[in-house]
Structure 1
Amino acid sequence: MNESLENILLEVSRSPEIDGGNLARASQFILDSALKGLDITRVSIWELQPDKQSMIATALIDTLRQDAETPVLRKSELPSYFEALETERTIIANDARNNPITAELAPDYLPEYGIYGVLDVPLRHKGEMIGVMCCETRKEHRSWTPDEVAFVGVLADIYGRAVSAAERERFEQLLIRQNEQLESMVAERTQSLTKALDNFKQAQERLIETEKMAALGKLVAGVAHEVNTPLGISVTAVTHCEHRLKKLKQAFTEGSISKKQLNQFIDDTFEAYDLLNSNLERAATLIQNFKKTAVDQSSFELVDCQLKDYLQALTLSLKPMVKKKKVSIDIRCDEATTLRTYQGALAQIVTNLISNTNEHAFVEPDEEHRILISAEPEKDGVQFVFSDNGKGIDSDTLKDIFEPFFTTSRHNGGSGLGLSIVYNLVTQKLKGEIDVQSTPGEGTVFSFYLPNLQK
């Protein structure tokens, strides 16, 4: 992807608007970025209605005209287009009026707005199609480039992150309101309190699920960025081979090829092949480790876990999260150490601890930043020690660190659930114990014991 589009994506991904919980502002920011990156005059976000029979433009920017009323797309009038949104990753129509998928828009919509080409990306949240982002060009012979297609695809993924943030904000506000109501009712309405507490627990569970999805979303963005580097090098190697091959073909056609030229071409090709092979293997390893981590965090199955290999694979997939602050993660664990546990719960514990440490323990990038994770057999289980050399935690903060919704970074979008989830997983799901000690200016140590669970 070219540098200008990457810079726009970096700006969007870092913007507090995306995780701020206000979907309208996040949508506007994403659409402004799409206009800027694609050099177009009309872009919009359409939301699929609950009956799934129509979509309404909930956010739209048109720099050339103002819509008199909110546009609506109906499935009964556009069956092929709606079907493509369910099955395709991207709809690329350089000639939208003649494209079999978008031709249904030609009689009314496309001519009315002077549109010749569209680049539409379905918007998905928790695996469900919830709408589409439409990028439209009024230039008659405009062709969408692969970089532009990838650019819009990433914007659509970021929109999914904004939807999760808005959902998290709604649930959090709901929980806060319910909590306030409970405090005034507790003395005289025990029965009503019980019912409200049940609702509170359900909302909290949904919020925890949303938090997990948001963590995975950040992990996806980091891994995608890391994979871009080896893939970019691979593309360069292929391009170099293509250039050398064209020169060799020209020399062959002209009858001027020499043994020296042929040998040089063979040597260069082997070098390019080695470069291509090593970088593709690196990309494949990143994707494999990410896939393992993502699957583990979304499922809870009791397994015999080989801790050293698993922790190394898990932390490798999490390194993009800590790369910006130059944090190194070390594992100390014997090859033979195993634990019968819910691997998904362990993955979420480690992920939350690393995310929390990266966010709070380390302020600025520094090559000296360290996280050490050790695991040693103890009794009928394993003792884990998670330590860092960050800024440490003061005593007032330390006593509330595992409390739900307690956070020191509310202004940065912190939910206060990361360490609360860790505590509940260790003590309830995995039947273990956890403790934390910290010295301001020196670092923090989380110690937790997990027993072997019975099948």
Structure 2
Amino acid sequence: MVETLENILLQVSKSPIIDEGKLEQATQLIIKSVIQGLAINRVGIWLYDDESACITSTYLLDADDGEQSPSTICANNFPHYFAALKRERTIIANRASDHPATNELTDYLNKFGIVAMLDVPLRHRGKMIGVLCCESSRANRSWTEDEVAFVGILADIYGRAVSAAERVKYEQLLIKHNEDLEQRVAERTQSLEDALNNFKQAQDRLIETEKMAALGKLVAGVAHEVNTPLGIAVTATTHCEHRLKKLKQSFEDGKISRNALTQYINDTLDAYTLMNSNLERAASLIQNFKRTAVDQSSFELVECSLGDYISSLVISLRPMVKKKKVTIQTHCQEELTIKTYRGALAQVITNLISNCAEHAFKTPDENHHIDIFVEKENTDAVLRITDNGAGIETDIQHKIFEPFYTTARDDGGSGLGLSIVYNLVQRKLNGTIDVQSQLNKGTTFTVRLPNIID
């Protein structure tokens, strides 16, 4: 190949435009290089349509008149030409009007004064996509082997440019899809975060409702217990008032006797003794309830004598289980002092006792009992809350701490009681809780708490 053509090919091949995906610029470079190398005035890129029935000049340059408007020719009008193109071979027509592949293009040839044509196939991914058409108006023009090879290489470079443009197109599509995907992921993430926040808010509201429900049960039990001694005190007061009126009447009538006065004094002392003992009992119940209620609404880190605190807490919890005739006893082998959140601990024990009363004991029975054992194991304080109730089925024991899981949905159970216990023990008290149970033999909840103070 002559050096001039080789230099042109070298410059085109090295041009970054070819591989940057800028197909229009690459096409213009190739067309101008053909015009320069072959010293002709018309060169065009003609591409097949989807059915390969027509070809259209996507870029056609006339050295004298500039870029030409797109033109289209179809196989039904030029069957011999399209038959030659389908053979995917270079058409070398030194006299285009006489060549069997191009002679039916007479009108086109005459219109632009074309004498010779050189059509080289354009291929992409092994498929012919069109032709690089070189047209010369010079008389006696003969295409040399070097010129044919030169145009063939430029046609291959065009195929490279098409691949680069396709790659860039796919990359841009991929980038757009990624951006769209990121946007959808961001929207979905935001939607999930909003849903999660709403869920957490709903869960917090339900947890607060459950806490209030547990406190409500405690209030109901204490109110019932307080009514009994208050009722006795009211009865004693009424009795004293009645006896005092009778004594006053006797005094006014002048019929009072020493025996009647003595009897009144003795009855009044008995009544006041009864009133005093029952009022003290009511005051004690109210004091224990007040401390429990305050503890459950206040979460401050304090030192706590574990055995004494649980014993006093149990006093206010006994009314909660009285209806089922459940006996609660505490067992503390040694005095343990820990630094903990009494409010959280009170909530844990309240919910566990309430859970036992609701699920472990179905009907009242004098033999029902709950035992709370307080022990020291290494550096941990261990609470074991044990009942002799109905027990928990083995296949659901791993679910009981899950939020909203309950076996008493039909009875209004929310499934949050033990979930609250689990979260308070794990997150607030930095401890652990587990359960062991056998059907009809009872259940034991084991709570381990750190921060023992020696």
Give the TM-score range, shorter chain: 0.5 to 0.7
Alignment of 1:312 with 2:307, yes or no, is no
**Cα deviation, residue 323, structure 1:** 0.8
Query: Could you tell me which residue of structure 1 aligns to residue 355 of structure 2?
Result: 356
1:387 is paired with a residue whose SS is: strand
The CA distance in 2 between the partners of 1:353 and 1:186, in whole Å, is 42
TM-score, normalised on structure 2?
0.57
1:414 is paired with a residue whose SS is: coil
Query: Could you tell me which residue of structure 2 aligns to residue 401 of structure 1?
Result: 400
Query: Could you tell me which residue of structure 2 aligns to residue 264 of structure 1?
Result: 263
Taking structure 1 as reference, are residues 397 and 260 closer, same or farther at Cα in structure 2, changes over 3 Å only?
same
1:340 is paired with a residue whose SS is: strand
**Cα deviation, residue 190, structure 1:** 3.7
Look up the equivalent residue of 1:382 and give its one-letter code. A
**Cα deviation, residue 336, structure 1:** 2.2
Query: Could you tell me which residue of structure 2 aligns to residue 220 of structure 1?
Result: 219
**Cα deviation, residue 282, structure 1:** 0.6
Tell whether the 8 Å contact from 1:339 to 1:381 is kept in structure 2 after alignment: no
Taking structure 1 as reference, are residues 186 and 216 closer, same or farther at Cα in structure 2, changes over 3 Å only?
farther
1:366 is paired with a residue whose SS is: coil
Tell whether the 8 Å contact from 2:399 to 2:405 is kept in structure 1 after alignment: yes
The CA distance in 2 between the partners of 1:236 and 1:433, in whole Å, is 50
The CA distance in 2 between the partners of 1:353 and 1:287, in whole Å, is 22
Alignment of 1:326-337 (within 5 A): 326-334=325-333, 336-337=335-336
Tell whether the 8 Å contact from 2:380 to 2:450 is kept in structure 1 after alignment: yes
Query: Could you tell me which residue of structure 2 aligns to residue 291 of structure 1?
Result: 290
Look up the equivalent residue of 2:202 and give its one-letter code. A
Alignment of 1:4-83 (within 5 A): none
Look up the equivalent residue of 2:325 and give its one-letter code. K
Per-residue CA deviation, residues 201-252 of structure 1 (Å, 9 max, x unaligned), is: 2221121111111211222122111111111100110111111111111221
The CA distance in 1 between the partners of 2:334 and 2:303, in whole Å, is 14
Taking structure 1 as reference, are residues 276 and 406 closer, same or farther at Cα in structure 2, changes over 3 Å only?
same
2:399 is paired with a residue whose SS is: coil
Alignment of 1:391 with 2:387, yes or no, is no
Query: Could you tell me which residue of structure 2 aligns to residue 450 of structure 1?
Result: 449
Look up the equivalent residue of 1:313 and give its one-letter code. S
2:436 is paired with a residue whose SS is: strand
Query: Could you tell me which residue of structure 1 aligns to residue 364 of structure 2?
Result: 365
Alignment of 1:83-232 (within 5 A): 189-232=188-231
The CA distance in 1 between the partners of 2:420 and 2:263, in whole Å, is 59
The CA distance in 2 between the partners of 1:250 and 1:393, in whole Å, is 67
Taking structure 1 as reference, are residues 230 and 420 closer, same or farther at Cα in structure 2, changes over 3 Å only?
same
Look up the equivalent residue of 1:450 and give its one-letter code. L
Look up the equivalent residue of 2:402 and give its one-letter code. E
Tell whether the 8 Å contact from 1:430 to 1:453 is kept in structure 2 after alignment: no
Look up the equivalent residue of 1:419 and give its one-letter code. L
The CA distance in 2 between the partners of 1:388 and 1:322, in whole Å, is 12
Alignment of 1:253 with 2:260, yes or no, is no
Q: How many residues align?
A: 270
1:318 is paired with a residue whose SS is: helix
Tell whether the 8 Å contact from 1:403 to 1:420 is kept in structure 2 after alignment: yes
Tell whether the 8 Å contact from 2:222 to 2:316 is kept in structure 1 after alignment: yes
* Structure 1 unaligned regions, length at least 5: 1-184
Per-residue CA deviation, residues 134-177 of structure 1 (Å, 9 max, x unaligned), is: xxxxxxxxxxxxxxxxxxxxxxxxxxxxxxxxxxxxxxxxxxxx
Tell whether the 8 Å contact from 1:300 to 1:342 is kept in structure 2 after alignment: yes
The CA distance in 2 between the partners of 1:274 and 1:253, in whole Å, is 28
Per-residue CA deviation, residues 407-441 of structure 1 (Å, 9 max, x unaligned), is: 00001110001011111111111111111000101
Once the two structures are overlaid, the 10-residue window that deviates more, 363-372 or 397-406, is 397-406
**Cα deviation, residue 360, structure 1:** 0.4
The CA distance in 2 between the partners of 1:270 and 1:344, in whole Å, is 42
Tell whether the 8 Å contact from 2:379 to 2:452 is kept in structure 1 after alignment: no
Query: Could you tell me which residue of structure 2 aligns to residue 378 of structure 1?
Result: 377
Query: Could you tell me which residue of structure 1 aligns to residue 409 of structure 2?
Result: 410
**Cα deviation, residue 334, structure 1:** 4.2
The CA distance in 1 between the partners of 2:212 and 2:441, in whole Å, is 32
Per-residue CA deviation, residues 280-299 of structure 1 (Å, 9 max, x unaligned), is: 00110111111111111111
Look up the equivalent residue of 2:219 and give its one-letter code. V
**Cα deviation, residue 189, structure 1:** 3.1
2:407 is paired with a residue whose SS is: coil
Taking structure 1 as reference, are residues 401 and 237 closer, same or farther at Cα in structure 2, changes over 3 Å only?
same
CA RMSD of aligned residues (A): 1.9
Query: Could you tell me which residue of structure 1 aligns to residue 301 of structure 2?
Result: 302
**Cα deviation, residue 377, structure 1:** 2.1
Taking structure 1 as reference, are residues 187 and 448 closer, same or farther at Cα in structure 2, changes over 3 Å only?
farther
What percent of counterpart residues are identical?
67
**Cα deviation, residue 191, structure 1:** 4.1
**Cα deviation, residue 186, structure 1:** 10
2:323 is paired with a residue whose SS is: coil
